[in-house]
Chain A
Amino acid sequence: DAGITQSPRHKVTETGTPVTLRCHQTENHRYMYWYRQDPGHGLRLIHYSYGVKDTDKGEVSDGYSVSRSKTEDFLLTLESATSSQTSVYFCAISEEGRGYNEQFFGPGTRLTVL
């Protein structure tokens, strides 16, 4: 199994509070991704990173920011959590972006915003 961990695994927070989710990998993969999973939508990309300090937006990036100061860590921050950000968040890694490169997924973080 690819070495990907996410923390915390579960979190309940209140509207308006900042929240940071962490993704940690031990595979030294260049690419890292944050997705959210909601019923009826599958997984949707929030942000991704193609190297240290190199990040870009995905299709549902509003209200989220990311940072990657080390190869192994990719942080997702909800600046001011809203109920619409209640979701399951998955981190994924990939060795390269081009061609056939399987994305390996972390175990997910279930976030509830009250």
Chain B
Amino acid sequence: AQKITQTQPGMFVQEKEAVTLDCTYDTSDQSYGLFWYKQPSSGEMIFLIYQGSYDEQNATEGRYSLNFQKARKSANLVISASQLGDSAMYFCAMKGSSNTGKLIFGQGTTLQVKP
């Protein structure tokens, strides 16, 4: 069975500093994808970044990067130069090799950025 684990229920970071949100996963699939979504207090789900299991380089999107360590089955999100608007819930999710596109989500991490 596939599983995503986010062990940090809540995190604090000072504005302008970098922060890492942890995500570990478990799957027997050889081909899979990992996603990070942001959910601000307004409730919408915002896609941030994607990493494929065969991608050789870590994914980056602006201030977001994904620290992908395949052997350790971890896909941590790194946010550089935190901004107040980064305060939100962050979800790690995984899609396996089936063609259904189903996502398995972690429990989420609440990030608060302090001014």
Chain A interface residues (CB < 8 Å from chain B): 31, 33, 35, 40-45, 48, 50, 56, 58, 88, 90, 92, 94, 96-105, 107-108
Interface: B107 (CB within 8 A): yes
- Pair A58/B102 contact, Cβ less than 8 Å: yes
CB distance B100 to A56 under 8 Å? yes
Could you say which residues of chain A place their CB within 8 Å of the CB of B101?
A: 31, 33, 48, 94, 96-98, 101, 103
For the complex formed, measure the closest distance between the CB of A112 and the CB atoms of chain B, giving whole angstroms: 15
Beyond A33-B102, A56-B100, A100-B52, is A42–B44 a contact (Cβ under 8 Å)? Answer: no
- The CA of A48 and the CA of B43, in the complex, are separated in Å by 21
Q: Does B25 lie at the interface of the complex (its beta carbon under 8 Å from any beta carbon of A)? A: no
Q: Which residues does chain B contribute within 8 Å of A98, judged by CB atoms?
A: 99, 101
Contact A105 B44 (CB under 8 A): yes
Distance of A47 from chain B, by nearest CB (Å): 10
Q: Which residues of A contact B93 (CB under 8 A)?
A: 42-43
Chain A residues near B44 (CB-CB < 8 A): 105, 107-108
Q: Is B68 an interface residue (CB 8 A)?
A: no
In the complex, A98 Cα to B104 Cα: how many Å? 15
B33 beta carbon closer than 8 Å to chain A:
yes
Q: Which residues of chain B come closer than 8 Å to A58, judged between CB atoms?
A: 102
Residue contact A104 to B102, C-beta cutoff 8 Å: no
B12 CB within 8 Å of chain A: no
Chain B residue with minimal CB distance to A110? B43
Q: Which of B43-99 contact A (CB under 8 A)?
A: 43-45, 47, 50, 52, 91, 93, 98-99
B43 touches A45 (CB 8 A): no
A102 with B47, Cβ < 8 A, contacts A42-B108, A44-B105, A45-B103 known: yes
Q: A101 CA to B35 CA in the complex, in Å? A: 10
